[in-house]
Copies of this chain bind each other. A is one copy, B any other.
């Protein structure tokens, strides 16, 4: 099984295949515009290339780090798809995030010098390993890097707040729709299609992330399909057919008419999105 720590597996075998990619800097990285560089003042970018990130390929199932491992590095996703999960004392686990290219992993390890969750590849991909001490050494000279680092951690805090609110207040339909729209938005930011994408994770992983069972996720997706809001092919291939109504569903207080009882809603009962929502800048 491939759930060994990535370091034990890769560090011994892959030096040759990384040699080439280490050589070129961040400029060549497909996620650079979403990644660190974005926050760094132009005249300081030369510093950045000095960091010479280690780049590594990972395979589906590889573990970037385990909960409890000594913290040393932050990871930037170059390609592929990852999940993080925390293990609870009672043996259950909970998926806390899905990560795609340009996103970062490992901030959880800084506080206690120990990772607080597992990070696992859901498909083959490539990551940059950013040595934290070296990063902070650089940041001590380049203030814009410190500031950008703070911004990224802050956004992570806000992202988690949103999920807490989702888990604490939304019912199943809304959770799933919100999840799909969030994926859509992130694909769009990466100039992929916002309305047609592949789910890289299983129904069980989605359910776990959203605080639902896999059966409930499956049923909600089925209902959304019946209602012609989304299309599903081969289970994993999703097409958003009516983003406006999906948005309305994710924003609106529960509206049982829209998705009740496993049935599509007769046209006559469909409602238009209502007026101004709560202001929140």
Given contacts A154-B107, A154-B108, contact A92 B253 (CB under 8 A): yes
Q: Do B165 and A96 have beta carbons less than 8 Å apart?
A: yes
CB under 8 Å from chain B, chain A span 83-106 = 86-92, 94, 96
**Closest Cβ of chain B: how far from A258's Cβ, in Å?**
13
Contact of A146 among B139, B251, B277, B280 (CB under 8 A): B139
Check: A111 CB closer than 8 A to any chain B CB.
Answer: yes
Q: Do B67 and A169 have beta carbons less than 8 Å apart?
A: no
Check: A163 CB closer than 8 A to any chain B CB.
Answer: yes
Chain B residues lying within 8 Å of A68, measured Cβ to Cβ, are 279-281
Given contacts A140-B143, A146-B136, contact A88 B169 (CB under 8 A): yes
CB closest chain-B residue, reference A85: B165
| Binary B-proximity of A61-90 (CB < 8 A = 1, otherwise 0) | 000000111000000000000000011111
Q: Do A169 and B211 have beta carbons less than 8 Å apart?
A: yes
Contact of A86 among B108, B146, B162 (CB under 8 A): B162
Chain B residues lying within 8 Å of A252, measured Cβ to Cβ, are 90
Chain B residues lying within 8 Å of A152, measured Cβ to Cβ, are 111
Contact of A111 among B155, B169, B208 (CB under 8 A): B155
Q: Do A160 and B164 have beta carbons less than 8 Å apart?
A: yes
CB closest chain-B residue, reference A279: B68
**Closest Cβ of chain B: how far from A252's Cβ, in Å?**
6
Check: A110 CB closer than 8 A to any chain B CB.
Answer: yes
| Binary B-proximity of A113-157 (CB < 8 A = 1, otherwise 0) | 010110000000000000000001001100100110111111111
Given contacts A164-B94, A164-B160, A169-B88, contact A147 B136 (CB under 8 A): yes
Check: A13 CB closer than 8 A to any chain B CB.
Answer: no
Q: Do B149 and A150 have beta carbons less than 8 Å apart?
A: yes
Complex Cα spacing A186 to B9, Å: 40
Check: A278 CB closer than 8 A to any chain B CB.
Answer: yes
Chain B residues lying within 8 Å of A156, measured Cβ to Cβ, are 157
22 of the cross-chain contacts (CB-CB < 8 Å) are A67-B281, A86-B162, A89-B250, A89-B251, A89-B278, A91-B253, A91-B278, A92-B253, A107-B154, A110-B150, A110-B151, A111-B152, A112-B155, A136-B147, A136-B150, A140-B140, A140-B146, A153-B157, A156-B157, A163-B164, A168-B209, A168-B210
